[in-house]
Amino acid sequence: MTQPPYGQVPPRGTVQPPPVPGQGPVPPGQYPGQAQGPYQAQPGQGPYQGQQPPYQGPPPQGPPPQGPPWQQPPPSYPVPPRKPTGLIVGLCLGAVAVLALGVVAIVSLNRGSGPSNAGYQAAPPSPTSAYELPPTSGSSTASSAPSSSSESPSTSVSAGPHKILKLADHPILQDRNAGLQNLVCNLPQWTSTQDGAEAFFTAASKCLDAAWGPFLESYNLPFTPPALHFPTGPSFDTECGTIQVGIATAAYYCENNLYVPFKGLQTDQYGNNPGVYLALFAHEYGHHVQEVAGIMDAAWQKIYAAGQNSPEGLDMSRRKELQAQCFSGMFLGAHVDRGGTITRDMYNKAWNDQETRGDNTSRSHDHGTNAHYAQWWRAGAKDNRIADCNTFAASASDVS
């Protein structure tokens, strides 16, 4: 393969954040508004010319190749000296006598109770490798090691694409050069109607599929697009329960299903601002990326173990939500100014809108403060590097 499956390495720093009024250029690596109070931006600035790191190849697909199992070489014994023939005959007769006595002893022992292993225990199975081995062509398993016929199906490793239940050490978060391919995305003009919203988000989902699908598949993850739903009532049913449409529910994700109730978009407040709606939709799609990768399952395991409303459970929930924010920023940063309909004006308005969302607005503690909501979205949007979205490795002070 001459290039990574997710396309050519995306350039770093192709998107400049809107400038801060009354201040000079933003130093590289610093987010506008960081330790500067509320950030207000002006649209329409030129592109940032950053440094592009050297491409280091496609993401790893498993452990380094291993050689054949090491085996103990057979011992070398000294050659015994030749013995006289008469002595050999005598030794043979003695061996026959000992053998006969042994047979008699074995028969007498077997007349007792059932067979016993005399304290012998089978050796425990060797520990499972921590690596998820990639499949080999023509093989139905990821390892050539023999398996017992009584092995539970849940313990066998599938050779096909499968989730990897990891968080900070998840494979997709390790490559500093990995990002979304810069693509053209064409969306219909936004109209604040039920039909207009459905057409807009349906087209946006196709662009998100084209961006995230090849990226996830390059890591042997089982990508399938989420199913879209456009509820029209005051509530809607999901596998996660019945969801009430309101200020806090502009869009919702649950188990491979993405719901966008038009009445939750608050179009009377946001008006004709498609960049705001696109960033919100890309956030919920970011949860689908987590679901496909296995990050979502791993996070919920931690949340359930700690308790959803415990400090540890709320911390894990914030890390999950803030990563979806970063994934949303990555998508807009990779597609703005590429010749499609995701314009610089849409990007700038989405950039500024992030400070209006978060726990300060919703008065909750499970999504992150408004400042952190903006910080993580902008981290993804500026450089389009998924390693910058590793909220699970961040300090607690960055995900409060």
365: tokens are: 């503690």
Task: Indicate the range of 193-197, 242-246, 333-337, 387-391 predicted with least confidence.
Answer: 242-246
Q: pLDDT digits over 280-323, tens only?
A: 999 999 999 999 999 999 999 999 999 999 999 999 999 999 99
Q: How confident is the model at residue 248 (pLDDT cuts 50, 70, 90)?
A: confident
Mean pLDDT of 228-232: 97
Q: How confident is the model at residue 381 (pLDDT cuts 50, 70, 90)?
A: very high
CA-nearest of 337, 234, 274 to 11 is 337
- CA 279 to CA 274: how far, in whole Å? 9
Mean pLDDT of 183-188: 98
More confident residue, 252 or 21: 252
Mean pLDDT of 325-335: 98
Q: How confident is the model at residue 247 (pLDDT cuts 50, 70, 90)?
A: confident
Residue 183 has pLDDT above 60, yes or no: yes
Task: Indicate the range of 140-144, 230-234, 384-388 predicted with least confidence.
Answer: 140-144
pTM score over 0.75: no
Residue 25 has pLDDT above 50, yes or no: no
The per-residue pLDDT of the chain, averaged, comes to 73
pLDDT of residue 120: 26
- Rounded to 5°, the CA angle 271-277-282 comes to 175
pLDDT of residue 58: 36
pLDDT of residue 249: 85
Task: Evaluate whether 233 touches 214 at the Cβ level (below 8 Å).
Answer: no
- CA 370 to CA 354: how far, in whole Å? 7
Task: Evaluate whether 351 touches 378 at the Cβ level (below 8 Å).
Answer: yes
- CA 320 to CA 379: how far, in whole Å? 15
pLDDT of residue 155: 39
Mean pLDDT of 6-16: 41
Q: State the sign of the Cα–Cα–Cα–Cα dihedral 393, 398, 399, 400.
A: positive
pLDDT of residue 246: 84
Residue 39 has pLDDT above 50, yes or no: no
- CA 300 to CA 294: how far, in whole Å? 10
Q: pLDDT digits over 367-380, tens only?
A: 999 999 999 999 99
